[in-house]
Structure 1
Amino acid sequence: MTGLRVRTFGELSAAELDAWETVRAANPALDSPYFHPGFSAAVHASGRTVHVAVGDDVFVPHHRDGRLLRPAGWPGADFQGPILAAGAGFRPLDLLGNGASGYAFDHLVPDAPGFERWVLSRRPSPYLDVTGGLTGYLGRASKSGKDNMGQARRRAARAERDLGAVRFEADSVDAGALARVIELKRAQYAATGAQDYFAEPDRIKLLEGLLSTRDPGFGGVLSTLRAGPHLLAAHFGLRSGGVLHWWFPVYDPAYAKLSPGWILLRELVAAAPSLGIARIDLGRGEDEYKRRARTGESVVCQGIVTRNPARRWTAAAGTRARAAVRSLRAGRNR
């Protein structure tokens, strides 16, 4: 890598980690918790080695997957890109070498410098502006968002009547509740035919480590919604500064008629000021609830940095095929 030195995360000095966080904190495009050194630290501690390409105030955490490099935390990293100062330049081809022939990304922030020629597609990444809590959010939400939040309030009252007192905890450290989140998420993957993210044990260990991370500037956030003795819904996400990333939301299918996911989201929006949260990133995707709840959206980019035209052509063909499948599914759902 020209001008970049590669070390494992554990080999970085305290001064380098401080520089990483200083650079990140000064660049508004990097306010997502995925760019915080705490995320790479947690991934590395889970047993999956994180390498970091280090330059002058440049840090690119990644994994080696054969001859391919992938962003740290892949495939669970919903925002990706080099950590560097706003306005600084970057040459993505400098990431290649020492046996690496490609750098594949699927959630690259659009402001990442130097990557334009390597982008194959772009997809929306919705968010909720929750400044001012529920009142502020409702003032910015679409009619659909307002309607769903109103329905959530009424369904919470119904849950209280039928199941017992409704209790919401915004920032829980209940390891048993986290285990239930993972159990419900794996059942959801199995029911829908989606790939099981938690089939790899290190990913379970990652969430367990993040749950116990209580750094004031970064950590995991587990939110739970109960009615009587029942866990109706829960969410495990990441928090850095005023940003909360919506990562693993689940609900118990036994209570699907109550739409408990919306009840939980409403409670989390209401609790945002007390948590110091101004934005909830929902992550890439065109899910119906994201479309209804969002107050705005950014985009994330998919592509590959490579000198190999055949590899780029293959990646582009795969991108077109996935886009066609999404379009077909969207047409069926209209």
Structure 2
Amino acid sequence: MNVDVVRPAELGEAELGRWRAFQAATPSLHNPFLSPEFTRAVGRFRPHTRVGVLTDGGDVVGFFPFERAALGRGLPVAPGLSDGQGLVHAQGSEWDAREMVRACGLSVWEFDHLVAGQRIFDAYRTARAPSPVIDLRDGFEVYHRAARARSSRVRDLPRRARRLEREHGPLRFVLEATDDAAGSALDTVLDWKSAQYQRTGRSDRFARPWIRGLVHDLLAERTGAFRGCLSLLYAGDALVAGHFGLRDHGVVPTWFPAYAPSMGRYSPGLLLHLAMARAAAADGVDLIDMGRGDKTYKDELKSGETTVAEGRVARLVPGAALAWARTAPVRSARRAVDRSPRLYGVADRVLRASGRWRRPDLVKGVSA
């Protein structure tokens, strides 16, 4: 095996075509975050984004996207944002993970959303987490019947939708907004999401200009089946809720959903997700992946789960040890909170109280 490390923009059309072919051939790689377009878009904002191009006997057999940080520490592309990570490779190929990490010039590679089927990293997983999904392969009506049978809130949504229409006007849903006003609508959705982060005491992703810039770039991305997808729910002329995500290979990961604070009593988040599922199924989407993490709305809407993993591939070098010392305590504490409903509830209340203390004007913020 040979590995050439390049910037995403340095990949040629033949290499990009090979990447797309590997991804299309393996269902577990059908994730927009593993598409070359995502890595190339991130590379325009994150200058340390790299791709390891794996060759065997002169043939390209894999692509390993990563970001290089201090101490030779390797991270996923767009760390903290990417909900799908791993090696995109030819079927049947085998490598040594540590040797690959060494060949990429890294002391360690850390992951927190490793997709299924990544055998090369089997020995390096330290935790697994469910990622709830809406499976639309049998059509929306089959999914919807099961969701209604399982959730009283889903059964109550038609009543809430009728009330919303009576009080604000007819409902209208747009699966993929591409008109001249899409950029402005996207900013509104991101502002709602930013307010939610602040209200709940979470780190505000959109306070970082590169993330907002990346999202706007992705909104304009239209390369083959890959594209940014801005979905909008209106009542009359009022924008009620929106979601920005990505789409490729029939998969739409839920990324940034939010709704207008004044509309909370109508369950706009659930209305939005159900409208997305209905329209996406009609447009050829097979799966909406809602992502890891415990949320009530995910339990109410899901029809199944996939599994993602976290862990690290570390070489026996000082840089890997130093990186572990800096990050392991935080990761360990987070896993302990995630595993315990009681601890999770306590942590959530503390974060929300912190958000109210810092920004009392956002007490009535938004929630996805």
TM-score (norm 1): 0.92
Across the two proteins, how many residue pairs are aligned to each other?
332
Q: Where does 1:112-261 land on structure 2 (aligned, <5 Å)? A: 112-141=118-147, 143-145=149-151, 147-173=152-178, 174-261=182-269
Q: Where does 1:96-115 land on structure 2 (aligned, <5 Å)? A: 96=102, 100-115=106-121
Are the counterparts in 1 of residues 3 and 104 from structure 2 also a CA contact under 8 Å? no
CA 1:311–1:64: 2 relative to 1, 3 Å: closer
Residue 74 (1) aligns with residue 79 (2): yes
Residue 43 (1) aligns with residue 42 (2): yes
Are the counterparts in 1 of residues 48 and 69 from structure 2 also a CA contact under 8 Å? no
Bigger shift: 92-101 or 27-36?
Answer: 92-101
State the Cα distance separating 1:303 from its structure 2 match. 1.0
CA 1:314–1:212: 2 relative to 1, 3 Å: closer
User: In 2, Cα distance between the equivalents of 1:98 and 1:71?
Assistant: 13
Note the alpha carbon deviations across 1:119-170, whole angstroms, 9 max, x for none.
111111111112344312124437334x333222221111000111211111
**1:60 aligned partner:** 64
**1:322 aligned partner:** 334
State the Cα distance separating 1:26 from its structure 2 match. 0.6
Amino acid at match of 2:250: G
User: In 1, Cα distance between the equivalents of 2:305 and 2:342?
Assistant: 19
Note the alpha carbon deviations across 1:233-286, whole angstroms, 9 max, x for none.
100111002111111010112111111011111111111233211110111112
Ranges in structure 1 where 5+ consecutive residues have no aligned partner: none
Amino acid at match of 1:284: R
CA 1:310–1:278: 2 relative to 1, 3 Å: same
Amino acid at match of 1:179: D
State the Cα distance separating 1:47 from its structure 2 match. 4.8
**2:356 aligned partner:** none
State, as a whole percentage, how many aligned pairs show the same letter.
Answer: 35
State the Cα distance separating 1:199 from its structure 2 match. 2.1
Bigger shift: 36-45 or 26-35?
Answer: 36-45
Amino acid at match of 2:7: T
Are the counterparts in 2 of residues 133 and 269 from structure 1 also a CA contact under 8 Å? no
Bigger shift: 241-250 or 317-326?
Answer: 317-326
User: In 2, Cα distance between the equivalents of 1:249 and 1:59?
Assistant: 30
User: In 2, Cα distance between the equivalents of 1:165 and 1:139?
Assistant: 24
User: In 2, Cα distance between the equivalents of 1:241 and 1:310?
Assistant: 39
Measured on the aligned residues, the alpha-carbon RMSD in Å equals 2.1
Are the counterparts in 1 of residues 42 and 49 from structure 2 also a CA contact under 8 Å? yes
Where 1:141 maps in the other structure, the secondary structure is helix
TM-score (norm 2): 0.84
Where 1:110 maps in the other structure, the secondary structure is coil
Amino acid at match of 1:112: Q
Are the counterparts in 2 of residues 241 and 276 from structure 1 also a CA contact under 8 Å? no
Bigger shift: 243-252 or 93-102?
Answer: 93-102
